[in-house]
Amino acid sequence: MRFDVITLFPELFAPLLTSGITRRAYEGGLVEVQLWNPRDYALGNYRRVDDRPFGGGPGMVMLAEPLQHCLDAIRTSRNEAAEVQAPLVMFTPTGTLLNHAAVSDWSASSGAIMLCGRYEGVDQRFIDRYVDRQISLGDFILSGGEIAAMALLDAVARLQPGVLNDEGSHQFDSFNPALDGLLDCPHYTRPEIWQGQAVPEALLSGHHAHIAQWRRQQSLRLSAQLRPELIAQARSQGLLSPQDEAFLKAEVKAAAVTGAEPAA
């Protein structure tokens, strides 16, 4: 798959593409990343890529013209038939929230062109004409779309075969279907006792069924306490077993006795 990134700061992507375990995806060609600076396609001696907003107000707005020329160059480079052209994705607060399901879809796709906005934003006429999808990381504002683009690239790269040391490790990440979309359980390693805190006995038992039960219950507990909407979603899809429901019910009763916040 191939991702083309339109960014005024291509140097920001160097650590992502050359560091950590996901670099295997980029170096091995599983995920090809091409960086494009719209300043290279701007006209005039100053290669201007922004201007003041009509109507006044603070900040600057990215010009449509350099972005269009940059996009044209990318389309030419990709040499795709019109009916299979890669979508142009823009990272913006008005976009659809990025989640695991969307990342899974992108990881199985042929890629995309990603636009990283800067300043007060991008001329709306360019967005209306060329942008196919808009994505948000959440209800907060970044200085530009680069961090959002890197988040998507990293999430997609780690799902590619052969990238992680353990092929099955990502299948048990939070929000994964293997966990019915719930949060992952806590994890422990050596030593068995650290600063007076012991590893839960179930994990030391060597009894696979007990370990699996403990992990499931911890996943249910954390999801109910921190992300109750995940429990509701799993329940609506019929993914919770009678044992799951009994555990959650017991958690609510225990919370009522202790006065703690109920888990579900």
Q: Give catalytic residue positions.
A: 93, 120, 158, 173
Place of tokens 């600076």: 37
Q: Are 121 and 94 in contact (CB under 8 A)?
A: no
Distance CA 248, CA 252 (A): 6
Calculate helix-pair angle for 208-226, 228-236, nearest 10 degrees: 110
Q: How far is CA 73 from CA 45, 207, 227, in A?
A: 20, 59, 44
- Give the 3-state secondary structure percentages of the chain, helix then strand then coil, rounded to 5: 45, 15, 40
Which SS3 state, helix, strand or coil, does residue 115 take?
A: strand
Distance CA 85, CA 89 (A): 12
**Around Cβ 13, how many Cβ atoms within 10 Å?**
19
Distance CA 123, CA 176 (A): 37
H-state helical runs in 28-99: 64-78
Distance CA 240, CA 231 (A): 8
What is the DSSP pairing of strand 2-6 with strand 32-36?
parallel
Q: How far is CA 85 from CA 77, 111, 183, 224, in A?
A: 12, 10, 36, 42
